[in-house]
Each structure stands twice: as C-alpha cells, then as structure tokens.
Structure 1
Amino acid sequence: MCPGYISRNVTGVAKETLSDTPITVVSGARQVGKSTLMQQLIRNRDARVVNLDDLGDRSAAEADPDGFAAQYPQGLLAIDEIQRVPDLLTSLKASVDRDRRPGRFIVTGSADLLSFRGSQESLAGRAETIRLEGFSQDELAGRIADFASFAWSLPSDKMPTDHPALTRRDYLEIATRPAFPEALARTGRARDRWLSSYAERLLSKDSTDITGIQYPDRLATLLSVIAARNSGEFVAARIGREVDIPERSIPAYLDALRSIFFVRSISGWSNNIANRAVSTPKVALADTGLAAHLTGVDIDGLETSVSSPLTGGLIEGFVVGELEKQRAWSEKSFRMFHYRDDYSREVDIILEDRKRDIVGIEVKASSSPRSGDFKGLRYLRDRLGERFVAGVVLHTGERSLPFGDRLWALPLSALWSS
C-alpha cells in the first residue's frame, strides 16, 4: 500500500468481480482515482498496463484493435481510459468469447460505456462495472458505512446509536468540500484554480471528444444553471428558456453531462400510490464541492437567508451523493427516487428495495427538526402500511430523536457513522 493511500470501499467488490468475470470495468469521472484503484487491484498479479491517453498506445489500439486486445494472453491486461478507442470494446468481446476465463481484462473509463459516442458494444454478459466516485465520508474516516442497511434495520422502540456531534457549519464545510483526491489535497486559491481548470477542460475537450456535443459553451451554461438550483426538478422547457437552448435539444445536453459523470439525476417515484405523482427528475452536480465552486459562494454566504435555497440544494445533493457512493458496496440492494405530488406532498429521497419496501429520507439544512418536516413521510407511511420501513429526517443538528411510528430525526453524520 502506498504511503498516504486512502483505501477505497469498492475494492472488495472489484476483487470479487476479477475472480469470477472476464472483464472488470472501473467507470467514473476523471480524477476520481480510477487508475490508482486499478494499480491496487493488479498488485501481485501477472499484469500489463496500457494507457490510451498515451499517443503510442492509442495509435496501436486504433491500428489493430484485435491484436491490441490479444497482446497479453498469459496474464491480465489492464487498459486505462478505454473510451479513447471505442472499437477496442468489440475486440475485447471477441477475445472473451474465445476464452472466458475470469480476470482477463480490467479497464477504466471516464465515460459511460453504454452511452458514449462510437460505442457499439455493451459487453453484456462478459463484464461487470464498478462505479467509482470521489471519496466518501466513510472512506476519509477509514471505515465502511452502509446507511441503507442501517435504515432498514432501524428499531421501532428504542433510540438508534449515537452519532458524532457536528455543527451546522461543520456540515456546510463537508458538503462544499470537493471529493476529487487531488482537489481535496489543496486549499484556498489552489483548490479554486484546480476546480476551474477541471470544469473547463472537461467541458471544452472531453464533452466534444466523448459525446460529440459541438457547443461546449452551451454545456457550460447549462451546468451553471444546474449548480445554482442543485437537486432541483429539471423541467426541460423552463431550463431551455433560461439558457436560450431549444427545448428539444436539452435532453441531449443533459445526457452529455451524465455520460461524463458531471451530473446525476434521480427519477420521480409513484408506485401507483397516488394518481397525482410527479415524474420530473431531480438533477444535481455529482460533486457538491464543484457545485459550490461554480456558484461562487462560500460557507459564510451559504449561511445567509438569501442563499438558503442554494444551501438546501447542496446539502440534499451531498446526501444523494453519499448514498450513491455507498450503493456500490452496500449489503442492501436499492434504487433511489424522489417523490412529489400535486398536493405539495414530497419526500426528498426514496430508497426502494427489491421487495418494493421503502425508506423515505427528508434532508433539512436546519439544525432543529420539527414535526412539519415529516409531512410527506407520514403520508407515505399511512398509504404504504407495512411496506414503509422507516422515515428519516436528516438534519444539521446534533441529536437523534423519535418522531412517532417508524419516524426518526437523525444528524447528517448518521450517513457515514452507521
């Protein structure tokens, strides 16, 4: 293990995949640590590493993708940034079809292999994808948290375990801190310069090369709007008018941002419990530290009443991000949604398992949870009955409190200390 290396919680899952699947794909945004994780996974293995960001390796792969894929049959071939040569995916498929031994290839990609331009092969049945994001809070603390499993086992008759006491300002600092390893190692103006350069390069270079979008300036404008209303519902017509982009073009621009892991979205949830449920997705930047940087606010600004909608959106986006990171290693299989109906009943986050049981989560930037914060959770509890496992209001205070049948108020730190 390298000095200063922070262990990634997906490592165990990735090792399992290497042991039983021919191709392991480590997918995620640039600069989240994919190459470092790959190096850790191939330690003590007979492996050869090639990087398609390198002009020589890329030229060889483009000239003879079949030969490139077959260059190291006696061991594991590790290919960094495979989205640079899409045709190589078809060659990997053909190679695996001839020899389906597990652990033959490990590849990293800074784009969604199922959606990026030029990809003709999904590798279905031959590959498993490990999604890697920036550091989670439990990784930074040197532990493995699983909030979903914790929420599904919340007691109905006693207080949950205590969690670390942090102030509202502590939480704002955590939520506005970038999760990219290199950015996290910097502070002040050096961090700001890194984040500005990161966004500029991805929007001006990768967005065009990977997605084919020809107007990166439009992407930049759209990204700024998403950051300003982080975790807000994404209505294409309204967004199009705001950024002066035709409504019909908005889905393609949003897909481009998603394909390079710049933003994430969660769909509306109805499950037939209400006829007036809204299906509009919520969209947020994948990294709330980058979102805060693009909006040009600091912690002091976020604490003012003028900025409170932005504060709430950043905190909610942070919670969604932590849950998404943990989903990669959670013992509980779940999907994530949000809920709102035409009667103003809403729940910020819905976790649904394979039995279609749910845990509802409200996120509040305030430090004092109130009974009214549970309005949407109570509605779902009463409509769903036994399918409603628990309702949680995550807040920026210090105390865990019961609020009735299967309802709890918990500090945000429960996300990574559970």
Structure 2
Amino acid sequence: MEINQLKTVILDQREEIELQLKTSIKRDVDLVKIKKYLSHPNILIISGVRRCGKSTLAAMALEGENFAHINFDDNELLNFKDQDFNKLMQAFYEIYGSDVEYFIFDEIQNIPGWELFAAKLRRTKKVIITGSNANLLSMELSTHLTGRHIDYYLMPFSFAEYLRYQGVNYKPNDIFVTKKKAQINQHLNQYIKLGGFPEVYKFGDVMAENIFDDIINKDVLIRKQIKYKAEFKKIAAYLLANYSQEFTYSKLKNVFDIKNVQTLKNYIEYLRESYLIFILERFSYKLKQQIIAPKKIYAIDNALLGKTSAEFSDNIGKKIENIVFLELMRREARDGEKKTIFYFQDHAGREVDFVVKNGKKVAKLIQVAYSLAQIKTKERELASLLIASEQLTCDNLCIVTMEEEGNEEIDGKKIKIISLSQFLLDVE
C-alpha cells in the first residue's frame, strides 16, 4: 500500500474516533490503572465482543497524550500485508511526529505476521491492541511475548452505564425514593430488552442484527474457514434462542444431525471465543462430573437474544437471569477477582442459578426469579437455595427478583430478597 493511502485511512478513522470520544460516557473502568498497564515492554490487550467500545476506551485512557491509531477492520485495508507495517509507521510519524509514544491497533490480528511487528514495537513504544478474539490474540502473542502482555476484558454497557448514557443522574439511595425508583425501573425495562450496545439504542433491532452478522461472518466463518456456513448460523441462532437453559452436546448433535460431536464442540467453542456466548458449568466437587454434566448457555447481551418467544413472565425471567449472569461476569472482569461462576442442580433437579466460588470456597448463592408472588414459586426457590446451602456450606443466600425486596429466615438461615435494580446498581 502507498503511504498517502494509509495516511488518508488514518485521518478518516481519527475523525471517527474523535467523534466517538465527544459522545462517549464514562465507563465503570479505572482508566488510571489501565494506563499503568502500559509500562513498556508490556502490550495491553483490550478484548471483548464487537461494538462494545474497546477502541473508545483505549482512546479515553490516553486522553491528553499524543497517540496514533488505526483500525484494520476497514475495507480500505483489505490489501494491507505484513510488509506494509514499515510504511504504516512512516505514515504515523509524518502525521503525529517522530516522538509519538502511544499506539492503538484495532483488530490487528487480521494481518498475518502482526505479532512480530508488535513484539518489536513494544520495546520502545507503548502499545494497546484491541480485538474481538482474546484467545487468538493471547495465543499468538504468547509465542513471541512470554509474560509481556496484559489482558483486559470489556463488555457492553452495564445498567449503571446505560443510565449514564441516557442522562439519568442518580445516587445509591435514589432507588428507595418512590419517584426516582419509578424512573429507574422504567429505564430498567428498556435495558432488559435493549441490552448494552449503544448503537442499538440509536438504530434499533436492525443494529443488533448487524452486530450478530458481523460476529458470525468476520469473527468465525471467515477466520475459522467454516465450510457449512448456513448450518453454523442455524446453530448460533438456536443457542441464542435457548439462552439461560441447559444443553448437552449429544442432544444438540441430534437436533442438527451432525455426525461428529467434536465438530459441534468446535463450533460452540468458536462462538465462545468470539464472545457471542458463555458456557456455564454445573457445580461439582468432582471434575469428571462437572465435565459430563449438562451445561448452560448465556448470551453476551440481551439485544442479541432470540426474539421469537412471546413476552411472558417466564421469558422475561430468563432475560433477567441473563442480565444477572452478565453483571457477575462484568464485576469479575472489572475488579480483577479470581471468582468462578457455576450453576447448581441436585439429583432431584432442584436448581440454583448461580454459585459464586472464590478460590476453594463457595462465597455466594444467587437465585433469579421474575416474581415470588405465587406461593409455589417462592417455596421452590427457597427450598433449592436451602438445599444448596447445606451441600455447599454457604450461608450467603440471595434471590434477585424484578421488583420484590425483603428478607426471609428459615431454620436459622437468612435469605436476602433484592430487586434487579438493587443488584445491578450494587445497592443491597
């Protein structure tokens, strides 16, 4: 590629990212901490699903600094080859000066040989790489940069960030004030449906479909060279339509008439690597039981959930469950805590949605229900929590509902009932 052609791409993209910075909101991220990760010779990798704000976050972390940026997920760069990296650096220096210290590269894994370029550059410069496939980035960097890169995982907007985006100012205790609580709950109903992609707020379902198509086509079908593309898309759509539910590879194999179960496992792993889905294991102290037990699927964002089901309370309950799971994952990434999440089910099928394990200890049990108004529902949820509490030796018990709040005490065990807004805004 020619240097002038590269300069045009760089400047056009810079206009776009400057506009994003003007309209962006403060994320619940420690930008000072992120910048400290950049003490070279480290490379900072910001990974996450497409359109979740990785590039904007990188630019926010470098506010006030002279930095260079390029996004390789651009049709103008389809012919970019590894031998063009020297021309790219010349273009950067001509635009930003030879003393530019910070560099942001988006989706650089699209370029063969990128890791050698990055390994060399990080010796003298501070480098941020963003990408939508963490395993690919980390695996290729690890080959050349043992212990020389730091991973940071970013997700779509939390509910707190969504409120900030919508211009809703609130204080923690506002959710106990009737008028403010009504306003927050009104936005919560929208968040349950729309999720955390800001572009979906602007353009509606069509943008959610575009995000889904980009993930499938760019992050999986092209990158993994999937032969049976239509079949793969059906599997992805099926999983997103059956979120918050158990599945087994053998049953899925029969649904799609796939002869080799390993092929199906590979497909699901590709979807997980692209951040479209999460796989939740059933809790067991025995690793073998954990491996063979059914697993549960959760989606990266409610905007991408199957939209064919009617909006009954059970369906909304599953959407709430998906949001609670995402918030648990978000807090783990944000706080850097080594927590592991499972679900619990005993031999009688009694289930607890989330088992939060901190090290070797079960730290918390969380049940999710749309409502506890029906006596049978309340008895079922409480009974499952109590059984899990005994088996897993955990007394930190919680039920997240849409609106109900309160406390229960049964056989000396205290169970806290909190609303979804309380949980998401961390006001318990």
TM category (shorter chain) comes to 0.7 to 0.9
Structure 1, unmatched stretches of 5+, are 144-160
Partner of 2:356: 351
Structure number with the bigger relative contact order (C-alpha 8 A, sep ≥ 6) is 1
Partner of 2:58: 38
Pairing partner for 1:227 from 240, 249, 259: 240
Answering whether residue 276 of structure 2 is matched by residue 282 of structure 1, we say no
* Cα distance, 1:69–1:241 mapped onto 2, change above 3 Å: farther
**Structure 2: distance between partners of 1:118 and 1:38:** 21
Where 1:328 maps in the other structure, the secondary structure is helix
Q: Deviations over 1:1-28 (max 9, x none)?
A: 9444211112434233234772111111
Aligned sequence identity (%): 21
Q: How does 1:6-85 map to 2 (within 5 A)?
A: 6-12=25-31, 13-19=33-39, 22-54=42-74, 59-63=79-83, 74=99, 75-85=101-111
Answering whether residue 415 of structure 2 is matched by residue 407 of structure 1, we say yes
* Cα distance, 1:124–1:341 mapped onto 2, change above 3 Å: farther
Pairing partner for 1:88 from 107, 114, 127: 114
Partner of 1:321: 326
Q: How does 1:326-341 map to 2 (within 5 A)?
A: 326-330=331-335, 332-341=337-346
Pairing partner for 1:194 from 199, 204, 207: 207
Checking the alignment, whether the CA contact within 8 Å between 1:134 and 1:180 is kept in structure 2 is: yes
User: What is the TM-score normalised by the length of structure 1?
Assistant: 0.80
- Structure index of larger Rg: 2
Q: Which moved more, 1:199-208 or 1:81-90?
A: 199-208
Checking the alignment, whether the CA contact within 8 Å between 2:35 and 2:62 is kept in structure 1 is: no
Partner of 1:261: 275
Pairing partner for 1:185 from 185, 188, 202: 202
What's the offset of the Cα at 1:340?
1.6
Q: How does 1:85-234 map to 2 (within 5 A)?
A: 85-96=111-122, 99=123, 104-114=126-136, 121=143, 123-142=145-164, 165=181, 172-186=189-203, 191-234=204-247
**Which structure has more helix as a fraction of its residues?**
2
Q: How does 1:303-318 map to 2 (within 5 A)?
A: 303=312, 308=314, 310-318=315-323
What's the offset of the Cα at 1:172?
5.0
Q: Deviations over 1:178-227 (max 9, x none)?
A: 311111223xxxx1222223323432343222222222312221122112
Checking the alignment, whether the CA contact within 8 Å between 1:401 and 1:409 is kept in structure 2 is: yes
Q: Which moved more, 1:245-254 or 1:61-70?
A: 61-70
**Structure 1: distance between partners of 2:258 and 2:355:** 31
What's the offset of the Cα at 1:276?
9.3
Answering whether residue 385 of structure 2 is matched by residue 377 of structure 1, we say yes
User: What is the TM-score normalised by the length of structure 2?
Assistant: 0.78
**Structure 1: distance between partners of 2:382 and 2:145:** 44
* Cα distance, 1:90–1:43 mapped onto 2, change above 3 Å: same
**Structure 2: distance between partners of 1:215 and 1:413:** 42
Structure 2, unmatched stretches of 5+, are 1-17, 166-174
* Cα distance, 1:162–1:125 mapped onto 2, change above 3 Å: farther
Post-superposition, which runs of at least 4 consecutive aligned residues in structure 1 deviate over 4 A?
55-61, 64-74, 115-120, 161-172, 272-278
Partner of 1:364: 369
Where 1:339 maps in the other structure, the secondary structure is strand
* Cα distance, 1:65–1:77 mapped onto 2, change above 3 Å: same
The alignment covers a number of residue pairs equal to 383
**Structure 1: distance between partners of 2:217 and 2:322:** 25
What's the offset of the Cα at 1:92?
2.1
* Cα distance, 1:172–1:28 mapped onto 2, change above 3 Å: same
